A = this chain, B = another copy of it.
């Protein structure tokens, strides 16, 4: 794994995901082994991404399978959606904002400060996520009984 993405990025992402999902949606997920996603394509059915800047220019994305996004959003919003709709998409943008915000907050304790833009949401597995081109994308995966999700981060070398 690239030296650029050391454990200092993995742990804040991990803590942010576990904390946001347990407190906001009462959903427990199990972290998997981080890997590099070199094709930059969405592994989940719906994906939120947000540009970050400061320590470096980068992108953080959150990609979720249909099963787990329905469970998370239904718990979070007291709903019973069975299909991915506009409200699910809005909530994925909000989850991306919350998870990236908490990860940034934890990183800022180590003087690694990022500001964040506004999340975008894309639909469909295999869609191109607008990660920083030509750099490895660090993927931190999670599994649950309802499906999988992954948080990815890419950072510009410059």
Q: Does A23 touch B at the CB level, under 8 Å?
A: yes
Whether B119 and A105, one on each chain, are in contact in the complex, defined by CB atoms closer than 8 angstroms, is yes
The interface stretch among A2-10, A28-36, A91-99, A144-152 is A91-99
Q: Does A143 touch B at the CB level, under 8 Å?
A: no
Tell me which residues from 76 to 128 in chain A have a Cβ below 8 Å from any Cβ of chain B. 76-78, 91, 93-94, 97-98, 101-102, 104-105, 108, 113, 115-119
Neighbouring B residues of A78 by C-beta, 8 Å = 26
* Distance A77 CA – B93 CA, assembled complex (angstroms): 19
Whether B105 and A93, one on each chain, are in contact in the complex, defined by CB atoms closer than 8 angstroms, is yes
A33 to chain B, nearest CB (A): 28
Neighbouring B residues of A23 by C-beta, 8 Å = 77, 91
A97: which of B26, B91, B101, B117 is its contact (CB, 8 Å)? B101
* Distance A102 CA – B115 CA, assembled complex (angstroms): 15
A residues sitting closer than 8 Å to B (CB atoms) are 23-24, 26, 51, 53, 76-78, 91, 93-94, 97-98, 101-102, 104-105, 108, 113, 115-119
CB-defined A-B contacts under 8 Å, sample of 23: A23-B77, A23-B91, A24-B24, A24-B77, A51-B115, A93-B105, A94-B101, A94-B102, A97-B97, A97-B98, A98-B98, A101-B101, A101-B118, A101-B119, A104-B117, A104-B118, A105-B118, A105-B119, A108-B118, A113-B117, A113-B118, A115-B115, A115-B116
